Structures are given as C-alpha cells and as structure tokens.
Structure 1
Amino acid sequence: MSNRDAYEQKLRAKLDELQAEVEKLKARARSADADARIDREEEIDRLEARREEMRKKLEELRHSGDEAWDDIRAGAERAWESLSEAIEKARSRFK
C-alpha cells in the first residue's frame, strides 16, 4: 500500500469517527431545552457542512494527479484541523 493510499484510508477513518461524534452531539441536542436545542442543532448543521467539505477534499485527493496531490493534501490537513477544533468546541458546549 502506498503512502497515498494509507493517507486516504486514515482520512476516511477520521471522517467515520467524526460522523459518530456528530451523532452523539445530535443525541445531546435532542435532550436539551428548546432554546439550547435550536442553538445546538444550528451548530451541528455547521459541523456537518464542514464534514461535507472534508469529504470533498478526500475525493479531490483520490482523483488528483501526483503533482497536485501534495497541495491538495496540505489543504485537507488544514480543513481537518479546523474541523477538529470545531468539534472540540461543540463537545465542550454540549455538556
């Protein structure tokens, strides 16, 4: 397996973990009072939009040529860091 394939599998696994975390946050949002539930659902929507962006980056990686791969990978890393920070913030607010 090439480093590229391993990297793509790693990102795919991270996206799966992220989806599981979003599902947990959704469950917490459902148990909140009405005002908090609205805020939390809006935040979840933003997280899911970012997750979709990350999924698109993964697709770009899969279909990129060798020359563009490093640039796209760098962009995917930045997107992942931003998404991870957003998940951590949401997790801390949903307690």
Structure 2
Amino acid sequence: MEKRDMYLEKINAQIDQYNAKLAVMRGKSKEVHADMKLEYLNQVEKLESKRDDLKEKYEQLRKSSESSWKDIKEGTENAWNDLKESFDKVTMHFK
C-alpha cells in the first residue's frame, strides 16, 4: 500500500475514533452538573467543529493530486493536532 493511502487510512480511523468519543461525550452531558452543563456542551460543540475541520482537510487530501498532496497534508496535520490537543484539554477539565 502506498504511503499516501496508509496516511489517509490513519486519519480516517482517527476521525472515526473522535466521532465515537464525541458521541460518548454528548451522552454524558446528561450527567454533568447543571451549572457546568452549558460550558460542557459548548466545549463539545467546539470539538465537533474541529472534527469537521479535520474531515474537510481529509477530503481535500483524499481528492488532491500527487503534486499538491504534501501541501495539503501539512494543513491536515495541523487540524489533527489541534483537535487532539483540544480533546485532551476538555477531557482533563471535565474529569
């Protein structure tokens, strides 16, 4: 398998994992104390937006030509790292 295909599979798998994590977080919103619920849901929405950004970058990368692939890859990695860092922060904040 090509390096590019492996990279795309890796990102797609990460998107699937984040989708599952977000679904769990949405479900847990019922358990969050009332005074924290609005902040919690706001953070979940921000994470969903960042996930959507990553999905968009993934689609651009998937459709890109060989010559533009490396440039788009950098933006995809930035979106991926931003989502990961944001997830880590939100998870730590609401433990």
Q: Matched residues in 2 for 1:37 and 1:27: separation? A: 12
Tell which deviates more after alignment, 73-82 or 20-29. 20-29
**Residue 61 in 1 paired to residue 61 in 2?**
yes
- Is residue 61–residue 69 contact of structure 1 (8 Å, CA) maintained in 2? yes
Q: Runs of at least 4 residues of structure 1 off by over 3 A? A: none
Which position in structure 2 is the counterpart of 1:86?
86
Partner of 2:69, secondary structure, is helix
Q: Matched residues in 2 for 1:20 and 1:89: separation? A: 18
5+ residue gaps in structure 2?
A: none
Partner of 1:30, secondary structure, is coil
Which position in structure 2 is the counterpart of 1:74?
74
TM-score, structure 2 as length reference:
0.94
Which position in structure 2 is the counterpart of 1:8?
8
How many percent identity over aligned positions?
A: 32
TM-score, structure 1 as length reference:
0.94
Which position in structure 2 is the counterpart of 1:23?
23
Tell me the amino acid that sits aligned with residue 92 of structure 1.
M
**In angstroms, what is the RMSD of aligned CA positions?**
1.0
1:27 Cα deviation (Å)? 2.6
1:94 Cα deviation (Å)? 1.7
Partner of 1:74, secondary structure, is helix
5+ residue gaps in structure 1?
A: none
